[in-house]
């Protein structure tokens, strides 16, 4: 069997292990019970199976504006690169729904495990060690438990990380440009999978690796002159080529992010500069660091259930979880465990193989864990204050995928050392075995201390143990459950470590061969992480509404013109949006600043629902009975479901999609504008609240209005990225659209470009003079067009490089005797 076939055999074994390990979520008619999947992700992919095969490969790279979600939602085309994810389309087309979501996740796990395998092989590890390294990266609960959170695209984004480092290291070893360009393309493809925080953290890790690896080359090889310039040039080429390849997403997203609640103009993260306060933008410190891993939770690297396993979610409770997370983070849907085996193997390369790759992998573990601790370390606080981009993201703990990769690499190298027959005879190995034996002893001692001093420890940590959660009130029973679970998990960890120590002991005494030891360690590792991961692989039945069944409420609302919107107050709005019913609000962690301010001050009883075209409210009968005293002052019942459990209220005061206002009032601040929107003295049918002086004369408040009003507006075309209308104007007026103001929209009046102004804080408007006008609005942001061009050119350049590589390979093969 040649070398390639041996590698393929180990990859086939990797796939087999993954299919067996995740069989529960793969071979089922149910769906993963994660809110982010049921309420969001699945809605976007559920129809792939009904598409024609050729439609899977169609691409239409445009900047999109979604009229159905959040009163108009866009990334300025930053998500258009998702159309290039053809394998994603194929997976959702090939595998039956709803299990195709799980297949998508597990196939990405296999992709990640394969990348880790080849990375370990590139760094000198044997096949068996590389096999273990791949399993550690994908089966470690730190990564695998993300399934419970429903973070599908996060897992897909993480799966590219090993490949990034594989090609990067290949470039350093060969000093060939093609591998640096390939690294850039893989980074861009990772970015296209839309979890930008993971992509950003990957870029940080790549930058650190590149700097460290280059310094090591300069130091070890004494590189000077042309060779130094070449090394520097290769790293610069990677950076530039990455920026051009990812430009189709990065350029529009960078422009889009400026005006978000995390952008440079958000007003968050205010700092004092020369006696004045300056807004740095981004998240404020408290929110950005709320998901920092508390230092005490490093103990959960050894005792996985020390602080519980997960926060409780909607639906039935998993029967194999006794206690939910009660640590100092806000909550967590995952677990900070990577298996006991990687930690037991970690000392081996530090003792016996202290080379550049061991130190780089160790740095990934140590620095990654420190970064994940966030606010608890001066290290992260300094980064937050001074390093670009850090303050745009929350959840520092999300960096933990880097330590997991580092542990996978170190474990692969440790397996090679265990397979070395001379190692067992060394004094250092005897000390190592002694250290492994001390782990269960230490855990047993810890267990005895817990049991013997239970009352003392409970009283000491009572405040923390009694901390309530969203679903659990503080009580003596809750404290007892948490302490009992802590003791139980300590006992399990002690027993598991004793099994590992026993395996090492039999190997050391010669009763177990090195290869059998590795197989036994592998089996114990799979059992260990399998027990933990099983608590996060929860299934539920597919929601009825996603099976194509239209509820009575959806049937009623389907007759509503798409120019109007609804507010679902009875649950998930996405079921209405995917049915082609525009909804006013959907929850997104990043919102446009103006829109977030509008939402923060939103009042159902003010004119705010009228101007944003909210025609209907959906609520339960219980909600209606509770609030009807106030709601009936503005809304009227329009529909009751056949079972009587849900109601739809109609807003008779809703404004049309476009109207003319002859009065413009300049409001100097956002606070005053939002206050005026709730003031009944301002009739927003007549008055436009603007931010700058009108360029044409407008009436002032209180002025007499003509009987016939300022004129009429007729909508000719209302589409996602284009709106056409005719306006018959009798006096200077502002044409107000019940659509979000956004700088990517461009307008013409009678074929001539005109400016779109913000009006009523969140809407868009155009000043018109008397006469009949044809108005067109088109969503056509410039950053997307520039980014698309750069990306397509980069792909073309990369294709030429790949073609050259194929030609050179064939030429070399033909030259062989």
How large is the average pLDDT for residues 768-791? Answer: 96
> Cβ atoms within 10 A of the Cβ of 750, count?
11
**pLDDT score, position 682:** 77
**Mean pLDDT over residues 62-66, rounded?**
93
The phi, psi pair for 77, rounded to 5°, reads 95, 5
pLDDT of residue 616: 97
Name the CATH topology of 658-780. Answer: Maltose phosphorylase, domain 3 (2.60.420)
Q: Do residues 647 and 641 lie in contact, with contact meaning Cβ atoms separated by under 8 Å?
A: yes
Give the mean pLDDT of 119-142. Answer: 97
- Rounded distance between C-alpha atoms, residue 529 and residue 337, angstroms: 8
Q: In the chain, what percentage of residues exceed pLDDT 70? A: 96
Q: How confident is the model at residue 817 (pLDDT cuts 50, 70, 90)?
A: low
Q: Can you tell me the distance from the alpha carbon of 806 to that of 811, in angstroms, rounded to the nearest whole number? A: 9
Sign of CA dihedral 79, 83, 86, 91: positive
Residues 323 and 471: their CA atoms lie apart, in Å, by 12
| Helix 247-257 with 225-245: angle, nearest 10 deg | 70
Q: Using CA atoms, how far apart are residues 448 and 182, in angstroms rounded to an integer?
A: 54
pLDDT at 316: 64
pLDDT at 547: 47
State residue 439's pLDDT score. Answer: 96
Whether omega before 98 lies within 30 degrees of 0, making that bond cis, reads yes
Question: 3-class DSSP state for residue 85?
Answer: coil
The pLDDT value recorded for residue 261 is: 80
Average pLDDT over residues 635-644: 94
Nearest 5°: the CA angle 340, 344, 347 is 145
Tokens of 354: 């202290």
Residue 391 burial (C-beta neighbours within 10 Å; 0-12, 13-18, 19+): buried
User: What would the mean pLDDT of 176-189 be, rounded to a whole number?
Assistant: 96
User: What mean pLDDT comes out for the span 435-457?
Assistant: 95
Q: What one-character-per-residue DSSP string does 314-354 give? A: SSSPPTT-SS---SSSS--SS-----HHHHHHTHHHHHH--
Predicted confidence (pLDDT) per residue in 213-265, tens digit: 999 998 888 777 788 889 999 999 999 999 999 999 999 999 998 888 877 66
| Extents of the domains making up the chain | 3-19+26-539, 544-591+614-650, 658-780
pLDDT at residue 30 in the model: 93
Residue 549 in this model has a pLDDT that exceeds 80: no
Taking 60 as the threshold, does the pLDDT of residue 277 lie above it?
A: no
Predicted pLDDT of residue 268: 64
pTM strictly above 0.85: yes
pLDDT tens readout for residues 744-757: 999 999 999 999 99
Name beta bridge partners: 169: none
Over residues 765-781, the mean pLDDT reads 96
* The pLDDT of residue 312: 65
Higher-confidence position of 569 and 469:
569
> Taking the CA of residue 132 as centre, how many other CA atoms within 13 Å lie in the half-sphere pointing to its CB?
31
Using DSSP's 3-state secondary structure scheme, residue 614 falls into strand
Q: Using pLDDT thresholds of 50, 70 and 90, give the confidence band for residue 589.
A: confident
For 385-432, the pLDDT digits (tens) are 999 889 989 899 999 999 999 999 999 999 999 999 888 889 999 999
Closest CA to 124 of 361, 416, 404: 416
The 10s digit of each residue's pLDDT in 279-290 is 567 788 888 898
Average pLDDT (676-699) is: 89
For the segment 563-592, the average pLDDT, to the nearest whole number, is 88
- Calpha distance 628→84 (Å, rounded): 49
Q: For residues 578 and 433, which has the higher predicted lDDT (pLDDT)?
A: 433
115 contacts 162 by C-beta, under 8 angstroms? yes
Can you spell out the DSSP letters for 745-759?
EEEEETTEEE--EEE
């Amino acid at each position: 069997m040649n070398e390639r076939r041996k590698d393929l055999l180990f990859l086939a074994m990797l796939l087999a292990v993954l299919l067996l390990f995740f069989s529960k979520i793969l071979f089922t008619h149910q769906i993963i019970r994660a809110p982010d999947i049921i309420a969001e992700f699945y809605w976007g992919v559920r129809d792939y199976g009904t598409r024609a095969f050729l439609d899977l490969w169609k691409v239409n790279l445009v900047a999109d504006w979604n009229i159905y979600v959040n009163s108009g939602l866009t990334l300025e085309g930053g998500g258009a690169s998702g159309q290039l994810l053809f394998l994603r389309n194929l997976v959702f087309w090939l595998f039956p729904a709803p299990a195709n979501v799980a297949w998508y996740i597990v196939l990405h796990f296999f992709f990640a495990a394969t990348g880790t395998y080849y990375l370990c092989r590139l760094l000198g590890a044997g096949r068996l060690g590389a096999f273990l390294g791949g399993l550690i990266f994908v089966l470690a609960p730190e990564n695998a438990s993300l399934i419970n959170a429903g973070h599908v695209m996060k897992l897909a984004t993480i799966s590219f990380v090993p490949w990034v480092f594989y090609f990067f290291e290949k470039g350093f070893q060969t000093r060939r440009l093609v591998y640096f360009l390939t690294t850039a393309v893989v980074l861009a493809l990772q970015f296209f999978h839309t979890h930008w925080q993971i992509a950003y953290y990957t870029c940080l890790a790549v930058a650190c690796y590149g700097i460290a690896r280059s310094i090591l080359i300069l130091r070890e090889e004494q590189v000077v002159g042309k060779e130094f310039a070449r090394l520097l040039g290769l790293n610069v080429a990677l950076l530039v080529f990455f920026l051009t390849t990812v430009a189709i997403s990065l350029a529009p997203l960078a422009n889009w992010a400026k005006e978000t609640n995390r952008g440079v103009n958000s007003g968050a993260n205010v700092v004092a500069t020369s006696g004045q306060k300056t807004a740095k933008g981004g998240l404020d410190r408290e929110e950005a660091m709320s998901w920092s891993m508390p230092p005490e939770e490093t103990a959960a690297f050894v005792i996985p259930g020390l602080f519980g396993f997960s926060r409780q979610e909607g639906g039935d409770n998993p029967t194999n979880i006794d206690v939910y997370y009660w640590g100092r983070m806000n909550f967590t849907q995952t677990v900070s465990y990577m298996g006991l085996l990687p930690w037991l193997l970690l000392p081996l390369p530090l003792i016996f193989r202290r080379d550049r790759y061991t130190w780089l992998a160790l740095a990934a573990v140590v620095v990654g864990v420190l970064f994940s601790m966030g606010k608890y370390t001066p290290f992260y606080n300094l980064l937050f204050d001074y390093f670009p981009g850090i303050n745009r993201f929350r959840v520092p703990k999300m960096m933990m995928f880097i330590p997991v990769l580092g542990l996978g690499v170190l474990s692969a190298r440790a397996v090679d050392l265990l397979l070395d027959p001379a190692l067992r005879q060394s004094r250092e190995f005897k000390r190592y075995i002694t250290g492994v034996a001390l782990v269960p002893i230490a855990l047993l001692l810890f267990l005895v201390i817990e049991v013997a001093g239970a009352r003392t420890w409970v009283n000491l940590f009572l405040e923390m143990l009694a901390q309530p959660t969203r679903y659990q009130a503080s009580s003596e029973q809750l404290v007892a459950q948490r302490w009992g679970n802590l003791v139980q998990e300590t006992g399990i960890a002690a027993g598991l470590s004793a099994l590992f120590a026993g395996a090492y002991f039999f190997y050391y005494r010669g009763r177990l061969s090195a290869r059998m030891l590795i197989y036994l360690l592998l089996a114990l590792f799979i059992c260990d992480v399998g027990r933990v991961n099983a608590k996060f692989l929860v299934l539920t039945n597919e929601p009825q509404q996603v099976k194509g069944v239209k509820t009575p409420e959806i049937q009623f609302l389907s007759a509503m013109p798409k120019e109007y919107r609804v507010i679902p107050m009875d649950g998930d709005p996405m079921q209405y949006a995917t049915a082609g019913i525009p909804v006013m609000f959907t929850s997104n962690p990043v919102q446009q600043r103006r829109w977030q301010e509008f939402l923060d001050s939103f009042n159902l009883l003010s004119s705010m629902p009228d101007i944003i075209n909210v025609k209907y409210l959906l609520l339960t009968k219980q909600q209606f009975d509770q609030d009807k005293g106030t709601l009936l002052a503005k809304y009227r019942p329009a529909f009751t479901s056949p079972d009587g459990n849900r109601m739809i209220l109609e807003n008779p005061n809703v404004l049309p999609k476009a109207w003319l206002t002859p009065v413009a009032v300049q409001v100097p601040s956002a606070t005053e504008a939002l206050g005026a929107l709730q003031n009944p003295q301002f009739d927003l049918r007549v008055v436009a609240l603007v931010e700058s002086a009108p360029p044409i004369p407008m009436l002032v408040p209180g002025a007499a209005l003509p009987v016939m009003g300022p004129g009429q507006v007729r909508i000719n075309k209302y589409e996602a990225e284009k709106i056409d209308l005719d306006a018959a104007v009798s006096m200077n007026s502002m044409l107000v659209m019940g659509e979000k103001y956004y700088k990517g929209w461009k307008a013409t009046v009678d074929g001539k470009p005109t400016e779109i102004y913000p009006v009523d804080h969140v809407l868009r408007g155009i000043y018109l003079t008397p006469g009949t006008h044809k108005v067109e609005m088109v969503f056509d942001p410039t950053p997307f067009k520039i980014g698309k061009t750069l990306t397509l050119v980069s792909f073309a350049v990369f294709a030429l490089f790949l073609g050259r590589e194929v030609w050179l390979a064939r030429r070399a093969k033909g030259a062989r005797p």
